[in-house]
Structure 1
Amino acid sequence: MRFDVVTIFPDYLRALDLSLVGRAVATGTLEVHVHDLRRWAHDRHRTVDGTPAGGGAGMVMRPDVWGKALDEVMGLDGTGSSTDGADPAPGRRVLVVPTPSGELFTQRTAEDLASAATITFACGRYEGIDARVAQHYRARGVEVRELSIGDYVLSGGEVAALVVIEAVARLVPGVLGNPDSVVEESHGADGLLEHPAYTRPLSWRGLEVDPVLVSGDHARVRRLRRDQSIARTAQRRPDLVAVLGASALDGADRAALAAHGWVVPQGADHPVRARVRHVCHEDVGAVADLAARTFPDACPREITSDQVAEHIATNLTRSHFASWVEDPRAELVLAELEDQPQECHRVVGYALLVEEQADRDGNVPAGLDPRPECVTAGEGRRVAELSKIYVDSSMRGSGLARALLDQVLHCATQRGVDLVWLGTSTSNRRAQRAYRHVGFARVGTRTYDVGGRLCRDVVMVREARARTGSGPQPGTGPGVTSAGTGARS
């Protein structure tokens, strides 16, 4: 690949003699040629600019000087054809004009330009290059790219040319010593920012490198780094998350995204914003409606519709949800989608954790199930039941249920709960796997009444303070706090 840079400050480009680009030039992998624009200015003062047509501040660089320079550098005559009737550099040829009014230069642009044979940079100064220069060459079949490296203004195009050359050159085979260096980078094909990098010492000023990175378990290392990339992108560049392709995201990706306020509804092309928060009185109706439409999905097949309806009318009423909002022993949280059309359900998930604690009159919270005999906590330990986790059918596999779970477990830890238990249908293997994944262990079974019919549940327990994985901890994201598969408890 050959780079030509035309500028009135050739010394500005001496940085190209250094580092990877300089080494690639020395080995013949790249060619870099810097040209002084004033060589094509033939008046006494070597003038390259003039006052703006129509008036205004500053000066504009002259098209006649630029035309002569670019014709010679690119081997063209005044019409845009090659001077000798043959392309002096076979292959794709691009003229890049750095300008703050150009298209945004991205990694995708760099990847595209890396296939060019020659790239010529026209580095403007002052108020820029007369617009007819780009118009002329574009009209005559030259590929012209007016590029901006960001939403700010520089004094000239040289800095931008250095940026583009550096970004493009490192993609040319042979420039980087290790070709794998470009695989896991920010703004790569996966659309994520690169994960943070660490080296030795593993402990420095009280900061530790995650043990997974030195465990030798390559699969866990890849997963951790992927999670860190997702977390960093969600925190710093939410605009990139919003355009991620849903089809390229696996379950673990969706879990990591949900930890930072993004979920992927079924059928969606891209993630959407979501958040988990405590339920307030204004939410009671929406949460009760969600409970009524999601509870049937979690029931065993032998439960009739009448029995389901009776259970809902008895245990999932608005008055129940209102009482949990008021009761300090209950943690009732909801998940809602943001920026959704009015006709869509905004509240798409909820969870309830109830602490086993009697009030002054000896009454326990509404909806608290008797603790099964297989749950042993030890004297003086505080116990809570994870009573409910439900998500709308459109959110299955989105990571939302795990986000709700992590939030209520975080709340349990904050209130000093030691042990959390739950019951989930023996037929709901998916739920059991999901709970095992976050540290719950089966300790026995119990019977559970649904509309007068006794069902059998698996009973599972976990320490409230147990970590749920190496990803972000509850409460660290901007909205939703972690992720996984949906399940009834």
Structure 2
Amino acid sequence: MRIDVVTIFPAYLDALELSLVGKARRDGVLDLRVHDLRDWAQDRHRTVDDTPFGGGAGMVMRPDVWGRALDDVLADEVHGRRVLLVPTPSGERLTQRLVEDLAGADHLVVACGRYEGIDARVAEHYSVGPSLEVREVSLGDYVLNGGEVAALVVVEAVARLLPGVVGNPESLVEESHATGPQGGLLEYPVYTKPAEWAGRAVPDVLLSGHHARVARWRRDQALERTVRRRADLVRALDPDGLDRDDRSVLARHGWFVPPGEPPVPVTVRAGRPPDSEALARLAAATFPLACPPHLSQADVQEFIATHLSPERFAEYLADPDRYRVQVAETAQGLVGYTLVVLPRTAQEAPYAADVAALVHARPAAELSKIYLLPRFHGSGVARALLEAARAEVADVVVDGRPVGVLWLGTNATNRRAQASYRKAGFAPVGRRRFQVGGSLEDDVVMAVDLTGGTAGHGR
């Protein structure tokens, strides 16, 4: 690869004689040439700038000087893809993807601006025609005195991707932002000898010699580090590259993966009185999805109006001694909720007789409702809501006794819901009849023993 850097401070680029880039130049892997822009100035003061048209502070670099310089540099015949890079705070962000793309070019020319920048006509002029790509690039959302720092960054970032520059090519695929197995994540933390320093020990898994466990630990650490530091990278993850363990790690940190979509941040929290209107809208959208096909729309709508109205949700949210509401929320609004009904007394008979037999005089709470927008089915949000509902009743004491059972009823025809509850630890304990409008429906009753015992008897 050939790289030409044009600047008014050639000595700034002397650092490229050092380390791997310098070795690549000496070995002939990289043909790097640094030019002084002032060599193309035509007055005795070697002037390269002038005052801006329209007024304003600062000076602007002259297009005629840059034109002569770039014409001469580009006059050398270099076959293949040629790219002119102009570092500027208003350019596209320099990313690892862009660096990888540039590493595939045959000739890079970096035009280092100074002062208020290079006259805009320079980039416009060289953008015309297919023989040269012009890319205006920025290191980040800040301003430097000139493009030389960016030139150093570009040359080092590109050169290290050239074959033969980095001694161990494997190190390129396990670092931050790399494509491949790392999948756009930040790199995991690394350690070396001694195994203990300043009272801090290397994680045991790295000393185990178990390669699969080490690989999993590193992947988990990369995911957690990326979640904490770079939410933008998490949002850009390819869902097809995330396995079950990846999704579990993300879920622990509040990120869930809807089918076919990148991760989405979801907050699970206690419902509040201002949520009543949003909860009613969510319930109206989700309750019909769980109803069997034979239910009439009139019965469904009557149930919604009676039990899932904003007024009813306001009642639920205003009475935490009787009802506990958890919601799942994204930046766009509520996507799911649960409603738990707490017993008033330890002797209060549950709605389902089979649950009464299971309880054996232990207080029982009912998971009355758990609904989720279809977009988030299979994402793990439902499991997070279930865990939040269980946590809601974990410390509830009724008549001096802790709640020992959480139970629910789901329509007997809804096999998908039953399978989902089984995975969450619920077991079938019997049946009940449930009224929806004018229709009496058959429900499967499922329960989980909150004390760690066996909930169901398999009926």
Contact 2:352 2:445 survives alignment (8 Å): no
**Alignment partner for residue 270 of structure 2, among 264, 278, 284?**
278
Cα distance, 1:155 vs structure 2: 0.6
Give TM-score, length-normalised by structure 2. Answer: 0.74
1:352 aligns with 2:342: no
Change (3 A) 1:376 1:241: farther
Of the structure 1 ranges 429-438 and 57-66, higher mean CA displacement relative to structure 2 is found in 429-438
> Gaps (5+ residues) in structure 1?
77-81, 340-345, 465-489
TM-superposed deviation, 1:297: 5.3
Q: 1:175 aligns with which of 165, 173, 178?
A: 165
Q: Is the 8 A contact 1:192 1:233 kept in 2?
A: no
What TM-score, normalized by structure 1, do the two folds share? 0.70
CA contact (8 A) 1:424 1:431 kept: no
Alignment partner of 2:150: what SS?
helix
CA distance in 1, matches of 2:296, 2:198: 61
Amino acid at match of 1:148: S
Does residue 149 (structure 1) correspond to residue 167 (structure 2)? The answer is no
Q: Which has the higher contact order (CA 8 A, sep 6+)?
A: 1
Q: CA-atom RMSD, angstroms?
A: 4.6
What letter matches 1:403 in structure 2? A
Structure 1, 102-111 or 277-286: larger mean CA deviation = 277-286
Equivalent residues of 2:38, 2:48 under 8 A apart: yes
Query: Which residue of structure 1 lines up, in the alignment, with residue 15 of structure 2?
Result: 15
Aligned to 1:332: 325
* Aligned equivalent of 1:481: none
Q: CA deviation at 1:61?
A: 2.8
| Distance in 1 separating the partners of 2:161 and 2:423 | 40
Does residue 391 of the first structure (1) align with residue 368 of the second (2)? Answer: no
- The answer to whether the 8 Å contact 1:349/1:390 transfers is yes
CA contact (8 A) 1:311 1:450 kept: no
Q: Which residue matches 2:99?
A: 110
Match of 1:93 among 68, 82, 85: 82
Q: Partner amino acid for 1:460? A: V
CA deviation vs aligned residue, 1:355-388 (integer Å, no higher than 9, x gap): 5663xxx6759979875655789x9xx9766554
The one of 91, 96, 119 equivalent to 1:130 is 119
Which residue does the alignment assign to 1:56? 56
Question: Do the aligned residues in 1 keep the contact of 2:337 with 2:370 (CA within 8 Å)?
Answer: yes
Determine whether 1:400 maps to 2:381. Answer: yes
Instruction: Say which is worse superposed, 186-195 or 323-332, in terms of deviation.
Output: 186-195
More moved, 167-176 vs 309-318: 309-318
Offset of residue 28 of structure 1: 3.0
Q: 1:207 to 1:357 in 2, by over 3 A?
A: farther
The total of aligned residue pairs comes to: 437
Question: Is the 2:292–2:413 Cα contact (8 Å) retained in structure 1?
Answer: yes
Q: Which runs of 5+ in 2 are unaligned?
A: 453-459
Matches of 2:62 and 2:304, distance apart in 1 = 81
Q: Flag the 1:61–1:317 CA change in 2: closer, same or farther, 3 A.
A: closer
Q: In 2, are the aligned partners of 1:350 and 1:389 still within 8 Å (CA)?
A: yes
| Structure 2 SS opposite 1:199 | coil
Query: Where do residues 176-191 of structure 1 align in structure 2 (5 Å cutoff)?
Result: 176-189=166-179
The sequence identity of aligned pairs, in percent, is: 50
Q: Aligned partners of 1:414 and 1:129: how far apart in 2?
A: 67
Would you say the 8 A contact 1:275–1:338 is kept in 2?
no
- The 8 Å contact of residues 102 and 147 in structure 1, kept in 2 or not, is answered as yes
1:287 maps to which of 279, 283, 286: 279
CA distance in 2, matches of 1:240, 1:396: 23
